[in-house]
Amino acid sequence: MATEIELKRGLQGVYIDKTQSSFIDGTEGKLLYRGYSIHDLAEMATFEETVYLLLYSKLPNQAELDAFDAELRANRAIPAEVLEIIRLTKDAHPMDVLRTAVSATASFDPDTADNSPEATLRKGIRLTAQAPTIVTAHARIVQGKEPVAPNPNLKQAANFLYMLFDKEPTAAEARLMEKDFVLHAEHGINASAFAARVAASTISDLHSAVVSGIGTLKGPAHGGAAEEVMKMALDIGEEDRAEEYTRGILESGGRVMGFGHRVYKVEDPRARHLKAECEALGMERGQPKWFSILSKVAEVMEPYRARGICPNVDFWAGAMYHLLEIPKDIFICIFAMGRIPGWTVQVMEQHSNNILLRPLLLYEGPMDLEYTPLDQRS
Ligand code: ACO
């Protein structure tokens, strides 16, 4: 019987449902959000426009965008109790604090138990707006500083940098951050979206699904790679050490972080945007060496392209954040902040045509053993 079963380990190549949210062609390196090219969105759309597109399935007109932007700005505050929890858990990794704080906000959200599309949308907007407040409050508390209140005059990305540094970013810095959020907003049924959908499929609520998503995103095989890439660049230190260092990883059977992807077998289409920004920012800040080091790593990895192992979205992101002077351990929280709209859409899709996500495991342990009472066991 067991020999007839075909295992789909890692659910590789398995379609589990239909979606209208994003389209990925891993062999062509193509990514669309609701039909629109990621390249156009990265170059021309604001984060607010992109989130609106994902949540409402259409690009907003000016009045719709203004109203939506105002709604996001109005929802940035976090309950005082959640701030207190952040203070109490401040020694944990920022992703753990974000996961805990998102979970805690469920206790104060009036819609927590309401799974209607309208309520899930409201919660998705609130969580999208609150996440940067949580992440920056924690970052500042860790530095022994007081959290900075959200600035209602700034858009989402600019406000994130403002709350982190207590200083308004330049227009270029804000745009860079915004582009990064746009690139991270949604991405098919990756591991964290799958985790969010599994939670939603039990008819659990959005907060629970987002907590599942954050917990799943945390690992270095998924969202944790940007931090690992920057650690690698810092470890390499100088461009002329990059080749030997990279070969050392490969020869010892290790993985070069920021390379490879379960779906993309050509270059991740998001990577080029961050590569360009990383290079430009490095020049502007008089620190071109991080780009040079990573370029050298990429050069050594070039033969792996033939095996479908190419730079992914995280390869250039870490150096860009580092140049913006963002602490390394919150790189992954940036990914999570950008992705909340994507998780929200997927939870709404799951709820709208729900089926319990419940695959099977092929048992291969012993069978029908005789139970020995405790007092007779040797
Ligand atoms: N460096 C070197 N070799 C690699 C790399 C890498 N980064 N990635 C995959 N490979 C090799 C594996 O060693 C394996 O080789 P083998 O067939 O000789 O054993 C082969 O490519 C296939 O690897 P799998 O792990 O089976 O591929 P999978 O699709 O399951 O993994 C993953 C994808 C986890 C992203 C992998 O490429 C990886 O670990 N990359 C590094 C971490 C990273 O950058 N993660 C971010 C992913 S993007 C994102 O989530 C935003």
Q: What is the pLDDT of residues 179-228, one digit of tens each?
A: 999 999 999 999 999 999 999 999 999 999 999 999 999 998 888 899 99
Helix, coil or strand: residue 91? coil
Q: For ligand 1, is residue 318 a contact (CB within 6 Å)?
A: no
Average pLDDT by consecutive 10-residue portion of the chain (378 residues)? 81 96 97 98 98 98 98 98 98 98 98 97 98 98 98 98 98 95 97 98 98 95 91 96 97 95 94 93 95 97 96 93 95 97 98 97 97 96
What is the DSSP code string of 274-320? HHHHHHHHHHHTT-THHHHHHHHHHHHHGGGGGGT--B-THHHHHHH
Q: Is 56 exposed, middle or buried (0-12, 13-18, 19+ CB in 10 A)?
A: middle
Catalytic residue among 187, 268, 314, 351: 314
Nearest CA, atom 1, ligand 1: 255
Q: For ligand 1, is residue 312 a contact (CB within 6 Å)?
A: yes
Q: For ligand 1, is residue 265 a contact (CB within 6 Å)?
A: no
According to the model, what pLDDT value does residue 4 have?
Answer: 86
Q: What is the pLDDT of residues 338-368, one digit of tens each?
A: 999 999 999 999 999 999 999 999 999 999 9
The set of residues, in sequence order, having a beta carbon less than 8 Å from that of 257 and lying 6+ positions away, is 220, 225, 228, 229, 232, 314, 315
pTM of the full structure: 0.95
Verify whether residue 314 is a known catalytic residue.
yes
According to the model, what pLDDT value does residue 2 have?
Answer: 47
